[in-house]
Amino acid sequence: MNLTCMECNSTYDPKDTRFLCDCGGLLDVALDLQDAAVSRETLDARLAGAALPGGSGVWRYRELLPPIPDEHIVSKDEGNTNLYTDARLSAWTGCDGLHLKHEGENPTGSFKDRGMTVGMSHARWTGARTVACASTGNTSASVSAYAAAAGMHGLTFVPEGQLALGKLAQTMGYGARTVQVRGDFDDAMKLVRQVAERGDVALLNSLNPYRLEGQKSIVFEILQQLEWSVPDWIVVPGGNLGNTSSFGKALRELQQVGLIQKMPRLAVIQAAGANPFYQAFRDGFRSLTPVTADTVATAIRIGNPVNYPKAVRSLEWTDGVVEQVTDDEILEAKNRVDTVGIGCEPASAASVAGTRKLVSQGTIRPGDQVVAILTGHILKDPDSILDHKERFGITLETVEPNLDAVTRLLDG
Ligand code: F0G
């Protein structure tokens, strides 16, 4: 390998940091391909199973999913998300064994796609033409994209003025009919249930049990990435409690088929302003009292979670705990996750803030293996960065287009 000028063929050392030849020509990286041992067979072997089911990080686990006939499957090769470690985040949370499972790396930027491929495929199998949801923005973006992919009609109900910008734009952009409800998510949820009861639309919220089946694959993929060594904890933000419900079922089923021998513990983290599950947990799960929700983490601004009974069951199966974190703690954790180059939306950062809190309380031990779920992408909620930039010393600088001005800026 060397650097070769495309004009005069002069060559330079590959570690040279120049980007132009002495003659002014542009440089190419010239590879030594004459010795490259590459064949179609090698490349194809690496792709083994790239077609369904292998290419999807959901359908790869089809033996543990509902047997929907192939011809009805609507997939965007969802899943296949990274499991990150970062020494700075381990130090900040006090948890050496911290992993971050980035579900924001799904096709529409959130974990919802994993549930959606199964929910949408099931809806298509049943002959539905229109699919509907209420949403704080991620479900609606996912419904909109998957409905478009399937050639179906998407119908989404969202709380007026409460969606993060990226999610509203996505939901509208993929083409779903987008209806703002003059109320909160819980009002929109109540409405869409009534609409679905009329019988002509399929409901694709996590009330739909097929959605929860797809979300089990988050746990399957984590375990496969950890080479089936079971972590001590899985930490997840809780809103409508779909993931909480799904994770418990996934773990039970992995145990039933013998893929794991012990259970990790689930830790569900709620925003303090949207904490009905936390309050119920503190009360020994005697009952759920809905709250009027308010938090900077708009994804989990939910006061009356529809999956409550299944979530309680998951916590019982996994000896789980519920914790709450303030908006300040959420924003600080988000800034930490963002500034190590991983990035996430505010609701996702609740799991990192919650991990830190549970370590400080001694519930999670510093040496424990922990997987915290990042549920959504940094681009989902750009305002959550721009509105809080002073607090985190984030600046945007402007300069006149001349070198003097730039020199003053950089050296000043
Ligand atoms: N994180 C993000 C980014 C979410 O969008 C949601 C839920 C949650 C966490 C909570 O997950 O409901 O399984 O407890 N968003 C839903 C929506 C409500 O409409 O997009 P959960």
Please state, in angstroms and rounded to a whole number, the distance separating the CA atoms of residues 245 and 27: 55
Q: Ligand 1 pocket check: which of 110, 179, 236 to mutate, most ligand atoms within 8 Å of Cβ?
A: 110
Residue 224 CA to residue 130 CA, distance in Å, equals: 35
Query: pTM of whole model > 0.85?
Result: yes
Residue at 38: amino acid letter: V
* DSSP letter assigned to residue 137: S
**Does the structure show a pLDDT above 80 at 276?**
yes
Cα–Cα distance, 365 to 97 (Å, whole number): 10
Whole-angstrom distance, CA of residue 111 vs CA of residue 130: 22
225 CA from centroid of ligand 1 (Å): 23
Q: For residues 409 and 384, give the distance between their C-alpha atoms in angstroms, rounded to a whole number.
A: 27
Beta-carbon contacts of residue 88 (< 8 Å; ≥ 6 apart)? 336, 340
- Tens digit of pLDDT for each residue in 344-358? 999 999 999 999 999
Beta-strand relationship, 130-134 and 202-203: parallel
Is 108 close to ligand 1, i.e. is its CB under 6 Å away? no
Task: List, for residues 385-404, the tens digit of each pLDDT value.
Answer: 999 999 999 999 999 999 99
Whether 357 contacts 370, CB under 8 Å = no
Here the tokens at position 364 are: 């999670």
Residue to mutate (ligand 1; options 178, 236, 277, 375; most atoms within 8 A of CB)? 375
C-alpha torsion sign, points 381, 386, 388, 394: positive
Choice among 38-52, 73-87, 140-154, 168-182 with the minimum mean pLDDT: 38-52
Does ligand 1 lie within 6 Å of residue 237's CB atom? Answer: yes
- Residue 311 CA, closest ligand 1 atom number: 14
Amino acid at 174: Y
Most distant CA atoms of the chain, gap in Å: 80
What is the rounded average pLDDT for all residues in the chain?
A: 96
In contact, 205 and 239? CB cutoff 8 Å? no
